[in-house]
A and B are shown apart, each in its own frame.
Chain A
Amino acid sequence: MELTFIKRLNWLLTGLVSVLMLVSLVVQTSHFNTLFRPQAEPELARKAEVVGSYIVAQIDRAVSLGFEVEKLNGVDEILADALAVNPDVNYIALMVGDRIAAFAGAPDARAGDLLAARDADGAVAGRYIDAALTVGGGVPALLHVGVPAGSVEAALNDIVFDLGSVLIVAILLNIEILLLVVGSSVTAPLQRVGDVLKEGAEGRLTLRTGLRGRDEVGHLGRAIDRALDVMRDAEGAAPLQPGEKAETRAAAGDRIVTMQRISELRFAIFVFALAEELTRTFLSVYIKDLFEPVPGLSKELVIGAPIALFMLLWAVAQPIAGNVSERRGRRTVFLAGAVFSALGLLGSGLATDLIQLIVARCLTAVGYASVFIAAQGFVIDATDPRRRAGAIALYAGGILTAGVCGPAIGGVVADQIGFRMTFIVSAALALAAALMAWHLLPRHVDGGKAKTRGLRLRDVGVCLTNPRFVAVTLFSAVPAKFGLTALLFFLLPLALDDSGVSQSWIGRVLLLYWLMMIVASPLVAHLSDRSGRRTPFLAIGGVIAAGAAYVLANSGTLPMTITGVALLGLAHALVNTPQMALLAESCVRERSTLGETTVIGMFRLIERMGSVIAPFLAGLFLAYYGYHGAMKGIGIVLAACVAAQLLLLAATGGRPSADLPQKDPA
């Protein structure tokens, strides 16, 4: 399906939405500064006064009993007590005269006996909002309570960033819904109309649009069909055989239904992938929370186990589920997979120990593998080879979009309702996807399509003797998956959570990776195709990925982390499409003997092994070298892979190119 119409509409609407959101962002931000800020600061000062008045009451009571305020004992302790129950208060100080008599809180607020936070022109004063309360007694005494002045800024920034995330998510959701609505009810029928008219122009008047919708497009289709009937009758040709007519019409109708179904399937896949992506920001943290010591194994290794097992089961289950879906029907496997995943996600949310969680995660993995392979199988079954690549790209786009939206939404949701409830929301999403598939996927009818042969061990041998296959698969694709899983799915969420970064922020950081993929991938595909070169992209991408790991290893601040994640996204965008092209160009012989599907299937299977070993290796590194050392170690592994890949590719010459479908689900 060509998406020119959708694309135009999409850009228009997306542009409109973006402008509206940006305008609202600007308006909101300036409003915050003019309206919200003047309100927020007195509010904070009031809070400080409430905390202070509680302490003043205690001191006043002591004074009323006849104790002298400057000789009171243990005031430090009650100040510390008050600070402990009011974490957003920075300091509390009792000043007798202009000297501090008792103090608790931020050390930078005091300078010896003086209150630095109270100096009108000091740099410290700007950091705090200070409230002063009078204490009773003979001598002049004041209680100062300080709250951070920066909290207004921080709150504002958070809102701005939230709105930014919402903007991106909204744009992508916009695309999803446009694809669903326009794709199924406008573009597909229009393409059909075009095909029918083209046939008619060439003198073949037997084809009909077969459109029956009640909308304008349906009206158009019916009008054209009638016109064709009239033209055919006028030409005096032999009346159409009743059987023939019915057949063409039915076939036409089927094709439109198919394209509509793929659009709808994309939405179902989007919803389904979203279920898993929602848990992305906190999965490794959640596993750590459930951690129980296993004798002989380090903590980090045990934490890695559920993620690694998930990836392994996914890799193993995918070919098996593919086979089953060919025999039992795509619908059955899709539905079973979605239900498995829903149960697995529900189980993950309810798990009380690590074993339960691992079992639930395994169930989810099998479900995922089943759903994705069944959906891909349906798309392949339902399309002719000419339109297949586009159809696969269309459906796989849903997964990518979910990758962007999921962590951003999931982080916010997890911050609000907690990890366990987010899993339950995910389970509900998986069920919703199952419900959509129930409606849109056809019931299994046996026969017709030629079965693709399954993967055999011997085929792996055939491919692995090709050094260029090895270079692309083992040293470019595997490290890419390895880096993604180790850094983004495992280490980074743990490291950020450890340093107190909120789930919302982790979501925003992870979002950036997918955003880079979405933005840069088509650009790279274009450049690579135009230049006909693949190796430089793989090499540069591999080096950038290693560099990204190095940046992440040395990132002490959020901006550095963001840079690292964006670099990793860019790196993977650089290798993603050229990888598939190079695979096609390097494996001409294998493709002709084993078939295209088998070669790609094998590539995907081996590639996924990168995800399987990633948590183990990352866990091992983490146990010995800490977060920074582990990330650096992963960078070294990635760099070594680039070197090996370059050596292998240089040792073997280039070969003529041929095209393969280039996009595939992650």
Chain B
Amino acid sequence: MTSVTRRSLLLGSAGALLASGPAAAAMAGSPAGAPTPNPVTAGRGNRPANIIVLTPRKDVGDVLGFRDLLESMGMQAKIDVREVQQASAVAGMLPDIRAARPDLVLTVFTPLTLATVGRYDDPDPSKFLTDVPVVFTSVTDPVASRIVRSLEQPGRAVTGTRHIAPVAVQLKTMLAYRRWKKIAAVYNPAEENMVVAVRDLKEEAARQGVEIIDGAVPRDGSGRPNPDAIPDLIRDVARAGAELVYIGPDTLVASNNSQAVADAALANNVATFCSTELPIRRSGLLMGLVSPAVNVGRFAGLKAYDILSGAKPATAIPVETLNRFSLLLRINTAKRLDLYPPMRLLNIAEIVKDA
């Protein structure tokens, strides 16, 4: 187990906004500002709402937060959590999902969400779920991924929450630690949202006078990105002068191979930054600016509640991000790298200690 002390972080312009409205309610864990808990169930008749959750792992914070919020709002719901390891498996599950006649489907992360609802400009009912409201959680960039037409007006019965701090705020946080000159972005080129995220990072870095080294994970003979190449990749970028390795909301690199990244970075004496929570807590990465997954899930739960209680149709609910982020800092990695954090950051950081 990792022991954790909590401190909230208000960073930069985007991050400095105080949490308000529904985001605040989701974070505070109580339905403050929301309608009084309504024990009336959703959908047809008076039965509990039928919800199916599609997630890569059952224990992600998003699902816990989602379940917790619906409970605290007094919603009667049957929540059926299905673990889906590969996004490609979703297509085969669709008939089964339809047969269960759910009132709402929750999808976790970009790949599963995209596999479930498809692109808004290619709505093929035979391949995707189009007749059930879908709420997603922890999707990096739903517009770039073409899940919704715009954040304010999704354009179809698909809405949800994002979990990544704006790229400018992330870069500002990295630079607050040290004034890095070269940062390597290690990412899976097959994940479209990561291609977009790295492009945005490069643009912002150019404005700040920081060089971004492109660390796309090389593909193997069959054209699939090869996670086994990550240690060599990190050695190469370190030799190229990278002082920090950035990993984004990347399923291959961050979710599945964060330990490899952390170990290789330590071996090459390079700092690490991650924009999602779990990899920092699970492996020896140095730091990250994150929306705690539980809170993102709670926020998704609030949107689901609005849909199920009939307060708003899914098409009218905007896609949102929490506007408060936490700075996570792993002290032992800082000590091993001999990179003491600046006192200003240390004062606002949530310290992650090794077990």
Contact of B340 among A58, A61, A71, A81 (CB under 8 A): A71
Please state if A77 and B344 are interface contacts (CB–CB under 8 Å): yes
Q: Interface code B13-47, partner A: CB below 8 Å = 1, 0 otherwise?
A: 00000000000000000000000000000000000
User: How many chain A residues touch the partner (CB < 8 A)?
Assistant: 15
Interface string of A123-151 (1 = CB under 8 A from B): 00000000000000000000000000000
Residues of the A chain whose Cβ atoms lie less than 8 Å from the Cβ of B335: 66-67
Out of B343, B345, B351, name the residue touching A75 (CB < 8 Å): B343
The yes or no answer to B342 lying at the interface (CB within 8 A) is: yes
- Inter-subunit contact A65/B347 (CB<8 Å): no
Q: B341 contacts the other chain (Cβ, under 8 Å)?
A: yes
A62 surroundings in chain B (CB, below 8 A): 343, 346
For A67, list chain B residues within 8 Å (CB). Answer: 331, 335, 340
Do residues A77 and B351 form an inter-chain contact, with CB atoms below 8 A? no
Q: Is the beta-carbon distance between B342 and A74 smaller than 8 angstroms?
A: yes
* Beta-carbon contact of A58 and B351 below 8 Å: no
- Assess whether A73 is interfacial by the CB under 8 Å rule: yes
CA distance A305 to B340 in the complex (A): 59
* CB neighbors of A among B294-347 (8 A): 331, 335, 340-347
Q: What is the distance, in angstroms, from B299's C-beta to the closest C-beta of chain A?
A: 31
Interchain CB contact under 8 A, A74 and B351: no
Chain B residue nearest to A65 in the complex (CB):
B331
Q: How far is the CA of A71 from the CA of B347 in the complex (A)?
A: 16
Contact of A58 among B331, B341, B343 (CB under 8 A): B343
Task: Give 1 or 0 for each of A56-68: 1 = CB within 8 Å of chain B CB.
Answer: 0011011001110
Question: How far, in Å, is B102 (CB) from chain A's closest CB?
Answer: 47
Chain A residue at minimum C-beta to C-beta distance from B340: A73
Q: From the candidates B340, B344, B351, name the one contacting A78 in the complex (CB within 8 A).
A: B344
A62 CA / B341 CA spacing, docked (Å)? 10
Complexed CA–CA distance, A630 and B293 (Å):
67
Kindly report which residue of chain B lies nearest to residue A68, judged by CB atoms: B340
Q: Give the distance in Å from the alpha carbon of A460 to the alpha carbon of B148 in the complex.
A: 87
A78 touches B331 (CB 8 A): no
* From B346, B347, B351, residue with most partner A Cβ within 10 Å: B346
B331–A74 touching, CB < 8 Å: no
Neighbouring B residues of A61 by C-beta, 8 Å: 346-347
Check A435 for interface membership: any CB of B closer than 8 A: no
Residues of chain A with a CB closer than 8 A to B344's CB: 74, 77-78, 81
Q: Tell me the bound Cα distance from A65 to B335 in angstroms.
A: 10
In the bound complex, residues from chain A placing their C-beta under 8 Å from that of B347 are 58, 61, 78
Q: Which residue of A lies closest to B176 (CB)?
A: A74
Contact residue among A59, A65, A71, A77 (Cβ-Cβ distance under 8 Å from B342): A77
Give the distance to chain A from B157, nearest Cβ to Cβ, in Å: 48
| A67 CA / B346 CA spacing, docked (Å) | 11
Q: In the assembly, what is the distance between CA of A71 and CA of B335, in Å?
A: 11
Q: Which residues of B contact A650 (CB under 8 A)?
A: none
The answer to whether A72 and B340 have CB atoms under 8 Å apart is yes
For A57, give the chain B residue with the smallest CB separation: B347
Whole-angstrom distance from the CB of B186 to the nearest CB of chain A? 25
Taking a contact as CB atoms under 8 Å apart, the answer to whether B331 and A73 are in contact is no
User: Inside 8 A of B340's CB, which chain A residues have their CB?
Assistant: 67, 71-73
A66: chain B residues within 8 A (beta carbon): 331, 335
Which residue of chain B lies nearest to A76 when distances are taken between CB atoms in the complex? Answer: B343
C-alpha gap A256/B261 in the complex (Å) = 105
Report the separation of the CA atoms of residues A61 and B331 in the bound assembly, to the nearest whole angstrom: 12
A73 to chain B, nearest CB (A): 4
* Neighbouring A residues of B341 by C-beta, 8 Å: 73-74
Contact between B351 and A73, CB atoms less than 8 A apart:
no
What is the CA–CA distance of A77 and B348 in the complex, to the nearest angstrom? 14
CB distance from B353 to the nearest CB of A (A): 8
**Chain B residues closer than 8 Å to A75, beta-carbon distance:** 343
Residue pair B343, A72 in contact (C-beta under 8 Å): yes
Instruction: Mark each residue of chain A from 66 to 99: 1 if its CB lies under 8 Å from any CB of chain B, else 0.
Output: 1100011111011001000000000000000000
B339 to chain A, nearest CB (A): 8
A635–B351 CA distance with the chains assembled, in angstroms: 68
Give chain A interface residues in 604-648, CB to chain B under 8 Å. Answer: none
Closest to B334 in A: A67
Q: Give Cα distance in the complex from A407 to B34, angstroms.
A: 59
Nearest CB of B to A282, in Å: 37
- List A contacts of B345 (CB < 8 A): 74
Task: Name the B residues within 8 Å of A59 (CB-CB).
Answer: 343
A73 to B346, CA, bound (A): 10
Identity of the chain A residue whose Cβ is nearest the Cβ of B178 in the assembled complex: A73
CB-CB nearest in chain A for B351: A65
Chain A: CB-nearest residue to B346: A62
Give bound CA distance, A394 to B342, whole Å.
Answer: 73
| A residues less than 8 Å from B351 (CB atoms) | 65
Q: Which residues of chain B are within 8 angstroms of A72 by Cβ–Cβ distance?
A: 340, 343
A94 to B341, CA, bound (A): 17
How many angstroms from the CA of A73 to the CA of B345 in the assembled complex?
Answer: 10
Q: Who on chain A is nearest to B329 by CB?
A: A65
Please report which residues of chain B, range 2-22, place their CB below 8 angstroms from some CB of chain A when the two chains form the complex. Answer: none
**Shortest beta-carbon distance, B257 to chain A, in Å?**
28
Closest CB in chain A relative to B296 CB, distance in Å = 27
Q: Using an 8 Å CB-CB cutoff, how does the interface string of B75-113 with A read, 1 for contact, 0 for none? A: 000000000000000000000000000000000000000
- Bound together, the chains give a CA A81 to CA B343 distance in angstroms of 11
Bound Cα distance A62, B345 (Å): 11
Best-surrounded residue of A62, A73, A81 (most CB of chain B within 10 A): A73
- Could you say which of B345, B347, B351 has the most chain A C-beta atoms within 10 Å of its C-beta? B347
For residue A71, which residues in chain B have a CB less than 8 angstroms away from its CB? 340
Chain B nearest Cβ from A568, distance in angstroms:
53
> In whole angstroms, what is the CA distance A497 to B316 when docked?
58
With the chains together, A184 CA to B347 CA distance in Å?
73
Chain A nearest CB, measured from B17 CB (Å): 22
Name which residue of chain A comes closest to B342, CB basis. Answer: A74
| In the complex, chain B residues whose CB is within 8 Å of the CB of A73 | 340-343
Query: Which residue of chain A is the closest to B335 with respect to CB atoms?
Result: A66
Residue ID in chain B nearest A73 by CB atoms = B340
Bound-complex Cα distance A81 to B347 (A) = 12
Q: CB within 8 Å of A: which of B96-147?
A: none
Residues of A within 8 A of B343 (CB): 58-59, 62, 72-75, 77-78
Docked complex Cα distance between A92 and B350 (Å): 27
**C-alpha spacing A31/B335, complex, angstroms:** 57
- Chain B min CB distance to A496 (Å): 39
Question: Which of B331, B343, B345 gathers the greatest number of chain A CB atoms within 10 Å?
Answer: B343
Give the residues in chain A near B331, CB-CB below 8 Å: 65-67
Instruction: Say how far B3's CB is from chain A's closest CB, in angstroms.
Output: 12
Q: Complex formed: what's the CA distance from A77 to B341 in Å?
A: 12
Measured in the bound complex, the distance between the Cα atoms of B329 and A62 in whole Å is 12
Write out the residue numbers on chain A whose beta carbons fall within 8 Å of the beta carbon of B342: 73-74, 77
- B55 → chain A, closest Cβ, in Å? 34
Q: B174: shortest Cβ distance to chain A, in Å?
A: 15
Least Cβ–Cβ distance between A382 and chain B, in angstroms: 70
Tell me, rounded to whole Å, the shortest Cβ–Cβ distance linking B328 to chain A: 14
Nearest-Cβ distance from residue B172 to partner chain A, whole angstroms: 15
Q: Which residues in B have their C-beta under 8 angstroms from that of A65?
A: 331, 346, 351
A35 to B178, CA, bound (A): 52
Q: How far is the CA of A30 from the CA of B342 in the complex (A)?
A: 50
* A66 CA / B353 CA spacing, docked (Å): 11
Nearest B residue to A55, CB-CB = B343
Complex alpha-carbon distance, A297 and B344, angstroms: 47
A354 to nearest B CB, angstroms? 34
CA distance A174 to B146 in the complex (A): 85
Q: Which residues of A contact B (CB under 8 A)?
A: 58-59, 61-62, 65-67, 71-75, 77-78, 81
Interface residues of B (CB under 8 A from A): 331, 335, 340-347, 351
Task: Give 13 new A-B contacts, CB below 8 A, not counting A65-B346, A72-B340, A72-B343.
Answer: A58-B343, A58-B346, A61-B347, A65-B331, A67-B340, A71-B340, A73-B341, A74-B341, A74-B343, A74-B344, A74-B345, A77-B343, A77-B344
Interface CB pairs A-B, < 8 A, 8 = A58-B347, A59-B343, A65-B346, A66-B335, A67-B331, A72-B340, A74-B342, A77-B343
**7 closest A-B pairs by CB:** A74-B342, A73-B340, A74-B343, A78-B343, A73-B342, A65-B331, A77-B344
